[in-house]
Every structure is written in C-alpha cells, then in structure tokens.
C-alpha cells in the first residue's frame, strides 16, 4: 500500500524563483534565503519520494474570476508552466500521477470533501518555487523534477476561503486515501505559501516574526488546536496574504497522529515582501 | 443576512471578498487579458482605447492609467490580478506593494530588509501604527504632503 512518509512546508515567494532563474541566488540578499534550503536539497536526494502531493494556491493564473474552485486536484498526465505575465519560468514541465490523483479524488470526495477535478491547469510560482527551492536550479529541457507531482490548488485569493479546521480535516482524508492505494508508493505531501506578508494597501510589508514562529511551534506540536485559529487572526496578525498558511494544515493533517520527527526548521526575513518559513517533518 | 466582515477594522487593508469581487469583476478580467503578449502590445500602444473595450467604470480606468494601485484596490481590484499590469510595465511585486505605501522603492526595500513593517499599532483601526489612515502617505510622499 502507498504511504505518506514526510511533509515539507515552505513559502513560495515569486521573487525567489526569479532570483534563481536570473542567477542572483549567490547575491548576499538571496544567499540568506537559499542557505536555509541546503540541508533540504540533500535530504530530498536521500529521501526521494515516488510522488509529491503539492498543496499550493493559484495566483490568478490558471483560474480567473470565471471559476473559483475551493479545492482543485490536478489529475492530468502533465502540467505546463504558467506565463504569469513575465513569461513562463524556465523550469521543467510538471509530470503528474493521474492514477493516484484520481484515486485520491474518488476517496476524498466520497469522504465528503467536494474537490474540483482539473485536467488542464498551468501551474504557477506557487507550485514551481517550492520545487526549485527543494531541487535547486534545473534545465527546463534537459532536466526533470525528481518524481511525479500532483498539484492541489486551494482558493485563498477570493473570500470565502476554507477554514483551517476544514483544511486539517481534508489532510486526514488525503492520508486515508493514500493509505488505500494498492501500489507501494512513498508519497510526500508539501504545504506551501506564507508566512506573514501583506502585498497591498498602506499596511503592505507587514511581518510578524513572533506570530510566525509560534505558528511553526504549534504546527509541529498541536496542529489540531492550531487549526481552530479563525481567518481574522491570520489577517490581523500575519497580513492579508498570510492567510495562505491554512494550506500548511492540509499537509500537517495528512501526517500520522504521533508527534513527527523535525528534520529541519528555518525562518528568515525577508524574501521580497515576505517572511520565509520552512519545515521538514517525517512520520515517526 | 449581510456577509459577515470581521476584517473591516484592520487598518490599511482591503479584503477581496464577494462584494469587492463583484465591484472589480471587469477590472480584474481586463488584467487577466494582459497574460497574452498580443494584448499587452495593444494595451501599451493605446492604453485608453484598450481600456474602453472593457465595461469598467471611469474611476477604474483612471486608476489603471494613473497606476494608482490603492484606487484599483478600492474599486474592486485584487493584487494578484493587478500584478498583470505590473508585469506589463516590468515591475516586481515588491515595487507594486511598495507603491501603495507612499514610500520610495528604496525606503520600502530598506524597511523589508530591517524586518518588515511592525505589527505594533497596526492590528486595529484607531491605534497609532504607521499603516493607520492618519499617517498616510508614508515615506517620501508623506514628507511632500506635509511640506517637509
């Protein structure tokens, strides 16, 4: 049977992708960000999964205001890199895992979570920046990501966005779905976005490092209680775009009930407008 | 029953809820059209004419022409959609976000490098943090406004 071996959490700031793509990653400003992922790249090489289930949000690229799915699972064989207006990032295309994705969709929908099934979806920086941080720079034509990826997009752009509680419970349903898949696949689940940041209005540039670090502590030790935090607390304390952090609760909910092993923890301010947080948790 | 909006007392912040989304529907869909290179070229060639192809309000069109992102937000824009205008102009998210504060690009970047904007005084309307209405605009624009 398939099983979830570990979860990875990371911010997905677009400027991080741009820094890597433009070869600025050795500049002191960016070196401080990338240094936090040196261990992680080695860890991923040593703990390569068969599939990554990657929770992220689309930033008005695959989805406009025409259709706004709360939870969208990518079931296609492959996903093109989105042109977000600056041209597509020069990274390998994303190979999906249609069989496992369809199995998870069936299991989770019958477990009362109404996913939207998506067969055509360009993936934006929300998905590709975490892959780049964990894999390093890759050639778009000659290289490939280390394994298939199932994109799972969450609406955190237009309100209402899903609650932390619902995200955590959805994670549990995904855990159950993976565990009932026949092939013995090792699956990692990644939760991305955050940490504190605000991209708009006179409060743009807000950072709350204390709140972020408390979030990391609680995500490790008491995720179910953390999942009860209402939206307004994220907005007020971590900025309007800090709401992305609810997506980390999906990944955390998919982990076993036992306390996980913390393999890596990193926090840094800033990357562009944003506080960068990063965790690697292994199922004990 | 009206929509519950517990976020209206957060200073300097517009939450993109259903009401804002309705107000900004065409503004945001216009922004999405800029994801195509040929539309970017047509927009750049004659901004006013391109905007007139969309059923946007005159205030929205003026806000776009002036690149006044705060006004775009007020009239229903969302930053991820508005970012397509920034991309068309060759601006980064940091430049766009900073433009909404009144600070120069350098002032905003320095604030971020020093740890970002503090949460203190910026949780609720009526406090005295730098994002509060009575302290706008900030930075260089604020000094100009005060005649300093």
Asked if B79 and B113 sit in the same domain, the reply is: no
Q: Answer whether residue A169 shows pLDDT above 70.
A: yes
pLDDT tens-digit readout, A188-216 = 999 999 999 999 999 999 999 999 999 99
Mean pLDDT, residues A125-140 taken together: 97
Give the three-state DSSP class for A33.
helix
Please pick, among A125, A264, A268, A278, the residue that the annotation labels catalytic: A125
Q: A165-169, A248-252, B1-5, B124-128: lowest mean pLDDT where?
A: B1-5
Q: Cα(A11)–Cα(A238) distance, rounded to whole angstroms?
A: 13
The per-type count for chain B, helices as H runs and strands as E runs, is 10, 0
A170-186 per-position pLDDT tens digit: 999 999 999 999 999 99
A279 falls in which pLDDT band (50, 70, 90)?
very high
Q: Kindly indicate the confidence band of residue B2, based on its pLDDT and cuts at 50, 70 and 90.
A: confident
Q: Do B13 and A237 touch (CB under 8 A)?
A: no
Mean pLDDT for B34-38 is 91
Q: What are the tokens at B48?
A: 């006013």
pLDDT of B148 reads 65
Spatial neighbors of A175 by CB under 8 A, at least 6 apart, are A4, A253, A254, A255, A256
Domain A3-274, CATH class in plain words: alpha beta
B123 C-beta neighbours (distance < 10 Å), count: 19
Nearest CA in chain B to A230: B6
Looking at CA atoms only, how far is residue A4 from chain B in angstroms? 32
Domain count, chain B: 2
- β-pairing, A3-10 with A186-192? parallel
Q: What is the mean pLDDT of residues B17-38?
A: 96
> What are the structural domain ranges in chain A?
3-274
- Each residue of A262-272: pLDDT tens digit? 999 999 999 99
What confidence category does residue A103 fall into, taking pLDDT thresholds of 50, 70 and 90?
very high
Catalytic-residue membership of A197: yes
Say yes or no: B66 and B105 in one domain.
Answer: no
Q: Supply angle C-alpha A158, A241, B27, rounded to 5.
A: 45
Q: Which of B53, B68, B90 is the last residue of a domain?
A: B90
The whole domain housing B62 covers: 18-90
Asked if residues A13 and A271 have their Cβ atoms less than 8 Å apart, the reply is yes
Please report the pLDDT score of residue A215 as a whole number.
98
Is B52 in the same domain as B115?
Answer: no
> pTM for the full model?
0.97
Query: Does the beta carbon of A88 lie under 8 angstroms from any beta carbon of chain B?
Result: no
Do B85 and B105 lie in one domain? The reply is: no
Instruction: Give me the long-range contacts of A22-25 (CB less than 8 A, separation at least 24).
Output: A25/A137
Token pair 């068969």: residue? A50
Considering the domain architecture, whether residues B79 and B107 belong to the same structural domain is answered as no
């Amino acid at each position: 049977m398939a099983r979830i071996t570990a979860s990875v959490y990371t911010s997905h700031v677009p400027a991080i992708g741009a820094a890597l793509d433009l070869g600025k990653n050795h500049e002191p400003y960016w070196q401080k960000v990338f240094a936090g992922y040196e261990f992680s790249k080695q860890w991923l090489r040593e703990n390569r999964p068969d599939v990554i289930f990657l929770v992220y949000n689309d930033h008005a690229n695959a989805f406009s205001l025409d259709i706004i799915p709360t939870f969208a699972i990518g079931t296609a064989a492959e996903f093109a890199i989105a042109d977000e207006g600056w041209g597509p990032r020069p990274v390998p295309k994303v190979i999906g895992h249609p069989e496992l994705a369809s199995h998870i969709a069936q299991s989770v929908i019958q477990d009362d979570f109404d996913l939207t099934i998506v067969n055509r979806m360009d993936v934006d920086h929300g998905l590709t920046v975490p892959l780049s941080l964990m894999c390093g720079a890759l050639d778009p034509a000659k290289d490939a990501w280390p394994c298939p990826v199932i994109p799972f997009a969450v609406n955190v752009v237009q309100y209402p966005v899903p609650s932390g509680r619902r995200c955590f419970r959805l994670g549990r349903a995904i855990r159950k779905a993976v565990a009932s898949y026949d092939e013995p696949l090792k699956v990692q689940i990644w939760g991305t976005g955050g940490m504190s940041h605000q991209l708009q209005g006179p409060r743009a540039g807000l950072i709350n490092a204390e709140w972020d670090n408390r979030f990391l502590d609680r995500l490790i030790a008491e995720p179910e209680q953390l999942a009860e935090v209402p939206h307004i607390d994220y907005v007020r304390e971590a900025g309007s775009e800090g709401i992305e952090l609810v997506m980390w609760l999906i990944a955390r909910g998919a982990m076993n009930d036992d306390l996980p092993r913390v393999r890596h923890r990193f926090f840094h301010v800033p990357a562009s407008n944003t506080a960068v947080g990063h965790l690697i948790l292994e199922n004990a | 029953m009206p929509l519950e909006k517990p976020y209206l007392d957060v200073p300097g912040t517009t939450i993109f809820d259903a009401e804002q989304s309705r107000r900004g529907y065409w503004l945001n869909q216009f922004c999405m059209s800029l994801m195509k290179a040929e539309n970017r070229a047509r927009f750049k060639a004659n901004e006013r004419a391109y905007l007139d192809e969309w059923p946007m309000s005159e205030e929205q069109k003026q806000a776009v022409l002036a690149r006044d992102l705060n006004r775009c937000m007020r009239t229903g824009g969302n930053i991820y959609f508005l970012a397509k205008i920034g991309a068309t102009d060759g601006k980064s998210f940091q430049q766009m976000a900073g433009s909404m504060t009144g600070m120069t690009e350098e002032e905003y970047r320095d604030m971020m490098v020093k740890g970002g904007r503090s949460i203190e005084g910026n949780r609720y309307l009526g406090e005295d943090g730098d994002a509060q209405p009575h302290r706008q605009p900030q930075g260089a624009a604020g000094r100009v406004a005060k005649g300093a």
